[in-house]
Structure 1
């Protein structure tokens, strides 16, 4: 059968048209799908880029050695006082800072090591280390500061128990200062880097030509110091109040310098403080009442310009068990000697000579049974000698000359069997010389001159077989010269002039084989000079 196709004149085919629309629809859908995929992909890409950008702007960890700005980092480690000083390019602080910036091992140091090295170099520049020091070996070099000359840090936590004797402390300079406190010797790597060494506990720079003022950085940054010795130099300026930062300080030795200003009370608030050696300086003001706070073993301020009274707090701590030395000679202290000083029962020497002290000598001195020296010379003390002095059986030297003491010499003085020197001249002592002085079997020097002593010279003095010098001139002594003096084997100086002695010079004096000088003029002696003399 033949298929007949009916068409109109326009050539429109319904089936073909449907097919075209179907294909076009599929294409459009495909395009939409493709575009959607592209858009989503682009958005994902944008999100990815956004996350990466956010991550790149987060702060990076700080370097383990120092922040990007080395100067800013170093400045952050320094106290405000130093920052002010850095405004002066010529200051010791500025010189130390410039030195620190080029330290080859700076990035290996902890913060306290940086501060320690900076403080030491500030001290170096401030006191003429590069020009005046007698020895500046290794100072400012790149090696570990524990091996710079004359500084003795302690690697471990053991606190050095250094003796408080002046001579011993000076002798420490003859040892290797960097070896003190070390338990081992560092190798070359440790010596040249920051991996060895500890905090400074002992700074020994005595007798080394230091000049100028002690910079405050020493006190603000070397806070572990227990032993600070800069004596026998040419240091000037005052003692900084920042000394209080040395909370572990035991020995503070600055004697024989030119330090001025007042004594900072902050010094006495250091609980570990044992010894203050500040004699022979130009320190002014008073001795603070806070002196009674620390349990000091030694307080040495003789040879300064101190004034005012001696505070009662000096001996107020009954429990004080360490004070063994008190040196306040050659100042201008006034007032009385506080009776509370009797609490310092371990005191060995007490020196307050050449002051303006007055009043009576406290009987509490008799409680200080460990005393070996009393030096109260050249003051204005009055009244009589306390009989309690006889309790001081360990006393070696009693110096009370050039005062205004009156009354009699107590017989109890004869109990001081260890006495080597009994010096009470230039006073107003009266009455007779007690016979009990003959019991002082260790006596070397007897000085009673320029008093108002009367009566005869006791023959018991001939029992003083260790006696070398006897000064009795300018008194009111009467009677003969004791012939018994001829048995004094060591006597080499006898001065009895300007008295009222009578009779003849005894021939027995010719037995004094050690006698070098005999003064007996201005008496009422008679007869010839014995040929035995």
Structure 2
């Protein structure tokens, strides 16, 4: 599944210091004279001589005036220094790239042009400081130098889909305005910096690297954590949700995580997406998952769980996608699953689930149904198959019996239908010819009788597997036939 991650543009509290207008600047010509001296290139000694002269003229206000001037001078110098620092940080970033389309940066990063016009660089209009770097998919190779931590106004850093190596600089944790870090699909190694000081960090995407996730569960502002495909090992902290109450997306798929999913996961009460498939989790699925009343997508398959589907899942009224494929589940599929009206995807592929399918359902939004490679039995009751939005269904490799329901012909959106490796008998329903099927597989069943001519009127068909027991005009039909 592809997830799209926006670059947020909220204004940051980090702003340049602006001194309030002081009445003294309007009434005292001495101050104006000192400012002219200061900004017109006169030396400090000349300024001091002028100040000494004025000391005797206006002694009561001298020290206040002097402090005001020095403060103004400091503000001007710091503003210029900060912009120079941004430029130096970007030049250091460029120097760390050892291969890739460097000519792009050489051509577009001209010292004679404002850094805000450089490719991949965005600045704020108010202070002309660097707020975003975006170099996704540039195929850069190299490392990231600590100097990147000097971009103090940076809110978004996207270096995804490159070939950066080495560690992620700890200096990133000092960027208090940072909201998004997207380093997915690189080759970073080592520990993830502690982003506890990044009080605005909302999205941390480190998918497909080789990182160690120390310190990610103390980022109080975090909303999405993407750490899939990082070879993460050991287990999850039991108190992982104590400091990340705003978390809406937790993506830990394709790692080596083991142990049990913490019961206290319910404390991540804002969770919308939970992706933990392809790990080594064991034990039973915690019933507390059913307390995540905002959960919309749950992917926990390809693990080593024991037991069945938690009954608490019935409480997830917002759940749209439920994937438990290859999760070593046993028992029956609870009937309430087929009455969760919000569900769009049900995936129980490759478990050890048994029993019959329920006679009644309320799944008006169901689009995909994966029940293959289980031990499901019984007949498919004809009247229940009226899923108006279903486009993909696989019931292969079970122990279903009886006839294939004629009501399958009412599944007007169905494109893919797999019923092979069951114990279906009888004739192939001619009603299937009403569908816009792309693939149809009913092989390795006990079907008999002629093949309906309506099947050959399906103009969209690309793969057709009917089985050797079917006969057409007395001739055996091949087990597999493809239409291109």
TM-score by length of 2: 0.69
Question: Is 2:198 the partner of 1:246?
Answer: yes
Counterpart of 1:314 in 2: which secondary structure? Answer: helix
Q: SS of 2:192's equivalent?
A: coil
Residue 389 of structure 1: CA displacement? 1.3
Tell me the secondary structure at the aligned position of residue 509 of structure 1.
helix
Give, in angstroms, the shift of residue 352 of structure 1: 1.9
Find the aligned partners of 2:409 and 2:273 in 1 and give their Cα distance.
35
Which digits, 9 at most, give the CA deviation of each residue in 1:367-407, with x for residues without a partner? 32333322221220111111111233232222211111111
Corresponding residue for 2:286? 338
Query: Secondary structure of the residue that 2:449 maps to in structure 1?
Result: strand
Q: What is the DSSP-based 3-state SS (H/G/I as helix, E as strand, rest coil) of the residue aligned with 2:290?
A: helix
Aligned match of 2:15: none
Please list, as runs of the form range in 1=range in 2, the aligned pairs for 1:46-445 lying within 5 A after superposition. Answer: 108-109=77-78, 124=93, 128-129=96-97, 150=120, 199-219=153-173, 221-240=174-193, 242-256=194-208, 258-261=209-212, 263-264=213-214, 266-293=215-242, 294=244, 295-317=246-268, 320=269, 322-412=270-360, 414-445=361-392
Cα pair 1:255 1:281 within 8 Å, conserved: yes
Counterpart Cα distance in 2 of 1:489 and 1:513: 10
Would you say the 8 A contact 2:134–2:157 is kept in 1?
A: no
1:506 matched to 2:452: yes
Report the alpha carbon displacement of residue 290 of structure 1 after superposing the two structures with TM: 3.1
Distance 1:150 1:231, change over 3 A: farther
Looking at secondary structure, tell me which structure has more helix per residue.
1
Kept after mapping to 2: 8 A contact 1:106/1:114:
no
Compared with structure 1, are the counterparts of its residues 516 and 206 closer, same or farther at alpha carbon in structure 2 (3 Å cutoff)? closer
| 5+ residue gaps, structure 1 | 1-60, 66-104, 163-168, 175-196
Does the CA contact (< 8 Å) of 2:419 and 2:443 recur in 1?
yes
In 1: Cα distance, 2:135 partner to 2:187 partner? 19
CA contact (8 A) 1:367 1:391 kept: no
Distance 2:232 2:81 in 1: 33
Cα distance in 2, alignment partners of residues 120 and 509 from structure 1: 66
Q: Distance in 1 between matches of 2:134 and 2:336?
A: 37
Aligned match of 2:400 in 444, 450, 453? 453
Corresponding residue SS for 2:236: coil
- Summarize the Cα distance change of 1:477–1:149 in structure 2 as closer, same or farther, 3 Å threshold: same
Larger radius of gyration: 1
- Number of positions where the alignment pairs a residue of Structure 1 with one of Structure 2: 388
Q: CA RMSD in A?
A: 4.0
- Secondary structure (helix, strand or coil) at the match of 2:369 reads strand
Q: Does the C-alpha gap of structure 1 residues 153 and 118 become closer, same or farther in structure 2, counting only changes over 3 Å? A: closer
CA distance 1:309–1:493, shift in 2 (3 Å): same
Q: Once structures 1 and 2 are overlaid, which stretch shifts more, 374-383 or 223-232?
A: 223-232
Query: Aligned equivalents of 2:267 and 2:216: distance in 1?
Result: 18
Provide the rounded CA distance (Å) in 1 between the counterparts of 2:229 and 2:157: 21
Give SS of 2:278's match.
coil
Please report how far the alpha carbon of residue 244 of structure 1 lies from its aligned counterpart in structure 2 after TM superposition.
2.0
Displacement, 1:120? 5.0
Q: 2:100 & 2:109 partners in 1: Cα distance?
A: 13
> Offset of 1:440 from its aligned partner?
0.6
Distance 2:110 2:259 in 1: 44
How many Å apart are 1:276 and its aligned residue? 0.7
Distance of aligned partners of 1:523 and 1:290 in 2 relative to their CA distance in 1, 3 Å threshold: farther
2:427 matched to which residue of 1?
480
Q: CA deviation at 1:252?
A: 0.9
The structural deviation recorded for 1:145 is 7.4
Q: How far apart are the structure 2 equivalents of 1:123 and 1:305?
A: 36
Closer, same or farther: CA 505–246 of 1 in aligned 2, 3 Å? same
Structure 2 vs 1, CA of residues 397 and 171 (structure 1 numbering), >3 Å: closer, same or farther?
A: farther
In structure 2, the partner of 1:467 is: 414
Q: Distance in 1 between matches of 2:267 and 2:136?
A: 34
Alignment of 1:491 onto 2:459:
no
TM-aligned CA deviation for residue 526 of structure 1: 8.1
Cα distance, 1:144–1:250 mapped onto 2, change above 3 Å = farther
Tell me: CA distance 1:260–1:485, structure 2 relative to 1, closer, same or farther (3 Å): same
Aligned mates of 1:225, 1:133 — CA distance in 2: 27
Does the 8 Å contact 1:446/1:470 carry over to 2? yes
Shift in CA distance, 315/458, structure 1 to aligned 2, threshold 3 Å: same
1:123-153 CA-partner distances (Å, limit 9, x unpaired): 849x933656856568897998777764657
